[in-house]
């Protein structure tokens, strides 16, 4: 029986590898098509001079090293797609005969963690899209900060899998440690958003409209709130792991509701 289970496990891993390769190639092809399409739009739009070029003292061919944002968007979309696909690998198939239903039900924390992480990555993608609707070009500073966001997002499948393992095989201390790891990952991701918002609030020449700098200055409060809420989730996990998991599930809702930015009494940008 153990040999059959081992053989089945090896076959499953082979299928997962083939699936991941197929998804990776498809997403790279999609990212390339998106890039070419947006690059064509940039070639059209760059022929129209913008007011913020003159206001900043820089023309489209000025001395500052900037480039269109289409490549960054396409690359980021590909990373988000791969990350959100890897999350499902944290769900394990039962390996014992005669206990299929019981083993499936015992994985409920893994299902909850998967849904929370799926929602979180999805909300990150939506927020990232909203971010780049206000950005017309990128420079090295923005590229590095965007890579930091992609780094913290790409780590998310690991703490998600750790939560599932801790709730099924570990004790209460393991569950608390797993939730603390997940909360730390979420707080670090929120910190990278803070870096992005702060940078853009001080670099108006990269924006579609210089007035958006004030928008990004306000968005820093949302990033700080996210860091604080994930810290609360980690602290609650020490007291009661399920409570910490519940807070982690609610947080994507906060980011989803505020994906267009915090409300302000002043006029909003496009």
Residue 171 token pair: 């004790």
d(CA 170, CA 154): 25
List 68's β-bridge partners, or say none.
137
Neighbouring residues of 105: CB distance < 8 A, sequence distance ≥ 6? none
The number of beta carbons lying within 10 Å of the beta carbon of residue 209 is 15
DSSP class of residue 68 equals E
User: The tokens 């053989």 sit on which residue?
Assistant: 7
Q: In sequence order, what are the residues at sequence separation of 6 or more whose Cβ sits closer than 8 angstroms to the Cβ of residue 75?
A: 31
- pLDDT tens, residue order, the chain (270 aa): 445 445 445 555 565 565 566 666 656 666 555 555 555 544 444 444 444 443 343 444 444 456 778 889 999 999 999 999 998 887 777 777 777 888 888 888 888 888 989 999 999 999 999 899 999 999 999 999 999 999 999 999 999 989 888 888 878 899 899 999 999 999 999 999 999 999 999 999 999 988 889 999 999 999 999 999 999 999 998 888 888 888 888 888 888 888 776 665 444 433
pLDDT of residue 110: 84
Q: What pTM was computed for the model?
A: 0.73
Radius of gyration of the chain (CA): 22
CB neighbours of 144 closer than 8 A, spacing ≥ 6? Answer: none
DSSP secondary structure of 123-175: HHHHHHHHHHTTB-EE-HHHHHHHHHHHHHHHTTHHHHHHHHHHHHHS-HHHH
Best CA proximity match to 70, nearest among 40, 106, 115, 113:
40
pLDDT at 100: 80
* Bridge partners, residue 137, by sequence: 68
State the pLDDT at residue 150.
96
Q: What is the DSSP letter of 267?
A: P
For residues 141 and 194, give the distance between their C-alpha atoms in angstroms, rounded to a whole number.
14
pLDDT of residue 48: 41
Distance spanning both ends of the chain, measured CA to CA:
62
Contact status, residue 191 vs residue 230, Cβ threshold 8 Å: no
């Amino acid at each position: 029986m153990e040999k059959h289970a081992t053989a089945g496990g090896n076959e499953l891993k082979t299928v997962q590898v083939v699936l991941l390769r197929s998804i990776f190639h498809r997403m790279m092809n999609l990212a390339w098509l998106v890039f070419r399409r947006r690059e064509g739009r940039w070639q059209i739009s760059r022929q129209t001079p913008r007011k913020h070029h003159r206001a900043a003292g820089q023309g489209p061919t000025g001395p500052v090293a900037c480039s269109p944002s289409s490549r960054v968007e396409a690359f980021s979309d590909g990373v988000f797609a791969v990350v959100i696909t890897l999350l499902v690998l944290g769900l394990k198939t039962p390996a014992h005969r005669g206990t299929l239903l019981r083993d499936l039900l015992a994985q409920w924390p893994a299902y909850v963690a998967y849904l929370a992480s799926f929602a979180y990555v999805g909300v990150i993608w939506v927020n990232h899209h909203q971010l780049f609707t206000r950005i017309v070009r990128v420079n090295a500073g923005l590229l590095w900060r965007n890579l930091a966001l992609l780094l913290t997002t790409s780590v998310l499948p690991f703490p998600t899998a750790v939560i599932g393992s801790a709730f099924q095989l570990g004790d209460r201390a393991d569950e608390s440690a797993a939730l603390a790891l997940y909360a730390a990952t979420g707080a670090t991701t929120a910190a990278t958003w803070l870096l992005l918002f702060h940078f853009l609030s001080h670099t108006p020449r990269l924006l579609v409209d210089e007035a958006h700098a004030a928008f990004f200055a306000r968005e820093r409060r949302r990033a700080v709130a996210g860091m604080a809420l994930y810290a609360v989730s980690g602290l609650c996990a020490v007291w009661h792991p399920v409570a910490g998991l519940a807070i982690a599930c609610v947080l994507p809702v906060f980011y989803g509701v505020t994906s267009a930015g915090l409300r302000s009494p002043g006029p909003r940008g496009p």
